[in-house]
Amino acid sequence: MIATGISAISFYTPHRYIGLETLAEHHGIDPEKFSKGIGQEKIAMPGHDEDIVTMAAEAAKPIIDRYGADGIDTVLFATETGIDQSKSAGIYVHQLLGLPANCRNVELKQACYSATPALQMACSYVARKPDRKVLVIASDVARYDLDSSGEATQGAGAVAMLVTANPTVLEIGANSGVFTEDIMDFWRPNDRRTPLFDGKYSTLRYLNAMTEAWKDYQANGGHAYDTFSHFCYHLPFSRMGEKAHGRLAKANKTPIDMDKALSGMAYNRVVGNSYTASIYLSLMSTLENTEGDLTGNMIGLFSYGSGATGEFFDAKVVEGYADHLFTKRHQDILSERVSVSYDEYVALWNAPNVVDGTSEPLAEEARGRYRLARIDENKRIYIDQHA
């Protein structure tokens, strides 16, 4: 059987953030409610000219620059904060990156889960056509109402993955375990810009979906728990990953070794929730923040999307993987960000909502290559600032 998986993986997050100590001060609460209670330190804040398209293009551009676009004939864009009910956000990215015209392009949705079926479908496709490549992108802006219980779990970011046969970073295993149930733990009707949710209920259903997906993974020939050196989880907040890891260890009657999961939480703590990108930000964090060579190690991954669908699957680290990472770039993106005051945060949170067909030019705030220049007669106009 042809090995398939990830040959490059890159992420992007905006250049501004609000520190959760600032949010805690505004609400008059102990900062440790955030730093220890949910394991978060910062929330990434996009400018009004940044969105899921600009972040996606920024995440994918380093991959295209290093490996070229030859062989890419499919773009799968996963998001739960889509910008159009009809047109795939990936088509905008396709144009910005100058990808080949002979390319299929679709958007996938199922809360925070959809990047995982995108990855699985991409692996199946390149197994059938090993000379082709698939660009999988997960990009989201997580926004909750101001002063709500979810406010501290906001964030923004994008992850791009180049999926190929004979991968150079991670081989995705053929076995997985899945679970779906119809619940209302988190949802966003078409007329709302922010979601509705039941946080405590969602946490419980997340853990149940993980347990059931793990059982299904085992029933389908999955690896034993002690085979894995590391685990990555969907991270709406980092403490959720700790809860999940503890539950999985308990289900396998094994002492909890939190070191197997902590390296995967490093980036999430300072970016915040990135919905579909979250688990792959955790995967990247594991690869780039774990000391020593991971070659040959097995990583277990649990992907969850409210509503709800969960999947447990595995990945094997390929020899020479470190040569295909973008660690220095990612470290620079995070270290060069700037913090904002509470008032600046509120101004960023209140993004313009242009729905009446008028023209709305947007202030030049993005520091990256790509920006949303304006919305003109309900048409989104993106530009490459280096063109």
Give percent above pLDDT 90 in the chain.
Answer: 95
Fold of 4-384: Peroxisomal Thiolase; Chain A, domain 1 (3.40.47)
For the chain, the average pLDDT equals 96
Measure the CA–CA gap between 223 and 83, rounded to whole angstroms: 39
Model pLDDT, residue 204:
98
For residue 20, pLDDT beyond 80 = yes
Angle between helices 89-97 and 52-67 (to 10 degrees): 40
Q: Which residues are annotated as a binding site?
A: 30, 144, 243, 273
Model pLDDT, residue 145:
97
For residue 214, pLDDT beyond 80 = yes
pLDDT (tens digit, 9 = 90+) per residue, 330-348? 999 999 999 999 999 999 9
Q: What is the CA radius of gyration of the chain?
A: 20
Number of neighbouring beta carbons within 10 Å of residue 296? 10
The arithmetic mean of pLDDT across residues 201-220, rounded, is 98
Model pLDDT, residue 268:
98
Q: Residue 359: pLDDT band by 50, 70, 90 thresholds?
A: confident
State the burial class of residue 26 (Cβ atoms within 10 Å of its Cβ: 0-12, 13-18, 19+). middle
Model pLDDT, residue 355:
64
Q: Residue 357: pLDDT band by 50, 70, 90 thresholds?
A: low
Model pLDDT, residue 378:
87
Model pLDDT, residue 96:
98
- Asked if 44 and 272 count as a contact pair (C-beta separation under 8 A), the reply is yes
pLDDT (tens digit, 9 = 90+) per residue, 47-58? 999 999 999 999
Buried b (16+ CB within 10 A) or exposed e, 256-278: eeeebbbbbbbbbbbbbbbbbbb
pTM comes to 0.97
- Asked if 108 and 122 count as a contact pair (C-beta separation under 8 A), the reply is no
The arithmetic mean of pLDDT across residues 100-117, rounded, is 98
The arithmetic mean of pLDDT across residues 360-373, rounded, is 92
Any idea which of 192-196, 263-267, 308-312, 358-362 has the lowest mean pLDDT?
358-362
For residue 354, pLDDT beyond 90 = no
- Asked if 300 and 228 count as a contact pair (C-beta separation under 8 A), the reply is yes
Measure the CA–CA gap between 344 and 349, rounded to whole angstroms: 9
- Asked if 58 and 158 count as a contact pair (C-beta separation under 8 A), the reply is yes
The arithmetic mean of pLDDT across residues 185-203, rounded, is 95
pLDDT (tens digit, 9 = 90+) per residue, 234-291? 999 999 999 999 999 999 999 999 999 999 999 999 999 999 999 999 999 999 999 9
Domain range list for the chain: 4-384
Model pLDDT, residue 89:
98
pLDDT (tens digit, 9 = 90+) per residue, 163-179? 999 999 999 999 999 99
Q: Which residues are annotated as a binding site for (3S)-3-hydroxy-3-methylglutaryl-CoA?
A: 30, 144, 243, 273
For residue 356, pLDDT beyond 70 = no
pLDDT (tens digit, 9 = 90+) per residue, 58-84? 999 999 999 999 999 999 999 999 999
Residues with catalytic annotation?
80, 112, 234
